[in-house]
Every structure is written in C-alpha cells, then in structure tokens.
A and B are shown apart, each in its own frame.
Chain A
Amino acid sequence: AQKVTQAQTEISVVEKEDVTLDCVYETRDTTYYLFWYKQPPSGELVFLIRRNSFDEQNEISGRYSWNFQKSTSSFNFTITASQVVDSAVYFCALSGGGFGNEKLTFGTGTRLTIIP
C-alpha cells in the first residue's frame, strides 16, 4: 500500500523567509513518481513538479527547490525568499509506476501562510 505523510499541518513564516515543507512516503514499488501540487484559495490544485524514482537529482525552479532522498523516503520542498502569493495548501503525492493516475495517493497537505 502507498502512503504519503505531511506531518506539518500548518506553517506560518514572515515574508522573505525561507520555508521547507516536508514529505515522507511509503511504497513497495521500485518505480514510482513523486509530485507536489499547490492549492491556492481559489481551490484548484496546480501541478508543480513530478520526479521519478530513478532521478535523485535535486531540482531548482526559480525560488522553488526540491530535495529527493530515497534513503529517507523523503521529497521535501523549499521556497526561498517567500512571498505572500506563496500562501496556499501544498500537497505531496505519490504514484506507482505504470499504474497511472488512478493510483495517485495524496498527503493531507500543509497550509502555508506567508505573513507580510
């Protein structure tokens, strides 16, 4: 069975601070994908990143960076120099390789509030 744990329910930081959102996963699949989604107040989830299990390179996209560590089954997300527009609920998700979207397992989300 797959499981995604986001232990941080809510985080508040002052604007311009860096913040890291934690994600720990469990799976028996040897091939799998990890994702982060952002849900702003408007409601729709927005896809941020997909990482496959064979690619442990960290990725940076502007102020966003992701740290994938297979040894600790973690896929953490860091926002550098946070901005008010980053306020949202962030979801980590896991999909078993080859099973498609019907096996996408989401965490419970972390609500991030950036204080101006």
Chain B
Amino acid sequence: ETGVTQTPRHLVMGMTNKKSLKCEQHLGHNAMYWYKQSAKKPLELMFVYNFKEQTENNSVPSRFSPECPNSSHLFLHLHTLQPEDSALYLCASSQDKLGGLAGELFFGEGSRLTVL
C-alpha cells in the first residue's frame, strides 16, 4: 500500500452539503497535517496533529473541522463551504513534528474539491 492514502480523489459538492475527506498513513508516523493548495498560491498549512492532539490551527474557518481518531487516520469534515474553498487538499505525515526531522513530510495525492 502507498504511504499516505487520501479519499476521495475528487469531490464536487454544493454549498449546503456536508462531506468528509479521509487520510490514512501506513508509515507509523505520529504527526499528520492538512494543507490547502490553491492555484498560484503557496501551500497553506491548515491543521497539525501530533500523537492525535491538535497542535496547530492556522486560522482556518470553522466550516472546516478536522478529526484525528488515531495516529494513522485524519479526517477533514466540510460543511457550508464557499466556492473559494475549491482547491486541492493535501494530507501529509511525518515521524513527528519536532525540528530534528523538520520538512521530511510524506504527502498523499490529494483530494480535488470543487464547491458549486
């Protein structure tokens, strides 16, 4: 199995829908991340979980709600999104979030979200 798996790969939803993105890592890592990738913008860090505890919420609107039930799974629950939320959402994992291994993230292939 690939290291970091994201489902669904593509999602189209209306502004009133509720959906979830799922991420699973098979690398035995302890830290997981959600990033947002929009066209012509730098990757934006949204959330960080370390040992299932949320350690970073980068001023993300409450219509995005993360959930990390264990170190291998990460969800992003979506509700009442806006068209500007359309983007590629990337999940990543790392051994931990500490500086010694900083930057060596393992990414999934992303979930392409379109909000109509």
Contact = CB atoms under 8 A, between A and B. Distances in A.
Interface of A: 4, 9, 33, 35, 42-47, 50, 91, 93, 95, 97-102, 104-109
A45 B105 CA distance: 9
A105 B7 CA distance: 25
B33 A45 contact: no
Interface residues of B, number: 29
Interface stretch (B14-22, B36-44, B67-75, B76-84): B36-44
Of B40, B56, B92, B99, the most chain A CB neighbours within 10 A belong to B99
Contact of A91 (B43, B108, B112): B43
B106 to A, nearest CB: 7
A35 B26 CA distance: 23
Contacts, number: 70
A43 B110 contact: yes
A104 B105 CA distance: 10
Given A4-B42, A107-B42, A100 B102 contact: yes
A95 B107 CA distance: 17
Contact of B103 (A4, A33, A44, A109): A33
B99 A98 contact: yes
A101 B97 contact: yes
A43 B102 contact: no
B113 interface: no
Of A98, A104, A106, the most chain B CB neighbours within 10 A belong to A104
Given A33-B103, A45-B90, A93-B103, A101 B48 contact: yes
Given A99-B99, A102-B97, A50 B104 contact: yes
Contacts of B102: 33, 50, 95, 97, 99-101, 104
B103 A35 contact: yes
A70 B107 CA distance: 28
